[in-house]
Structure 1
Amino acid sequence: MAESIFRKLRDGGEEGELAPALTIEETVASPFGLDVSGYLLTNLSSSILAGKSKSQGLVLITFSRSPSFYLQLLKQKGIVVTSSSKWIRVLDCYTDPLGWIDQSSTGVTEGSSLVKLHKCVSDLKRLLTSIIEAGRELVGDGKTRFCVAIDSVNELLRRSSMPLVSGLLTDLRSHGTLQHET
């Protein structure tokens, strides 16, 4: 099943659909959400690097774990992110979600050129703009697609209302003037 989900994410949306979307829920009853999302993240990254995906870049938004956790996960799977900054960007919403600390003291060292601290995650318009800017850094302004991976919508819901989060996800998935995947 994970393989068919991965193919759908790799190959992009169907006719009339700008981007496929996927939510993975991790609960006490089913604690395998991290394993499944890690599998999908590493396989999608490999496909992007190999040119097998319609997307040519990945914007990873981290809420529940640090960017270094994901960079290490990719490294353990043989994907070197620090040598190529042309396919991945990480928006760090984990380190300072309320905007209280200075960016120079975040502690991110490995892959730090790929990681951008995003403060005050409750401002979803600013978050959407940051995601789009990060994607455009990767693929330019043309019709080239990029993927967006959000590690925890629950963390986002703790800081914003359901309608605002739903609006953000809808904008990411189907914004008419952009070409990207979620």
Structure 2
Amino acid sequence: MSRISSFVEIYFPGVAQRFQKGIALIDERYGVKAMYGLFFNFCLNVSRPGQVDRLHCLPHADYKNLALAVCVVFVYGEFNHKEKCWLVMWEAGIILQIPPGVFVAYPSALFYHFNFDISNLEVCVTDGADFPTPQNSRRLDGGASGRGSCVWFNQASMWQTAEIGVDTIKQAISQGLDATCDNQAFLDSLVFAKIMGDKGQPQPTL
């Protein structure tokens, strides 16, 4: 768990600070501790030969997760990662190849995302560097079984009650409290890690 927490603290320090503050508030108010480092929630997705041959997700957004934060996905197993189960983030317009042993952190509550097989396209490949022809090409197929994933995330409802200071949103409204989140203030306070761009200038990571 320390590696997962360190990953978020290094690349998303502003998000990590919000997690740490929320964890402390929830522990103080309810005596509930985060069992997975900076995360309260964990999901293990396992493929089982003959029962669940492959793991992949259809298009969705994790709308119950804490927004303006990240979840972390760790992919494991033996599968053809060069051609199968890439991660699409629709609004960002990107598709990521995720080999086993790789961590990925992204705002799953904000991005419509899903897994995609390149074999779904009319794409052919060759085994070498020769120019592809009908004679030396093959269709992409198979190779998706054996993939598994671990997912760490935080549900928004826990942070809403902790940050507002009451047990439920309904109670907050009945007490005349503002039950909304000041997202802009949080965005303004965020600090992201910096990486070097093509021209040697620091660029924010997201």
| TM-score, scaled relative to structure 2 | 0.25
Q: Which structure is higher in helix share?
A: 1
Pick the structure with more strand per residue.
Answer: 2
Report which of the two structures shows the higher radius of gyration computed on alpha carbons: 2
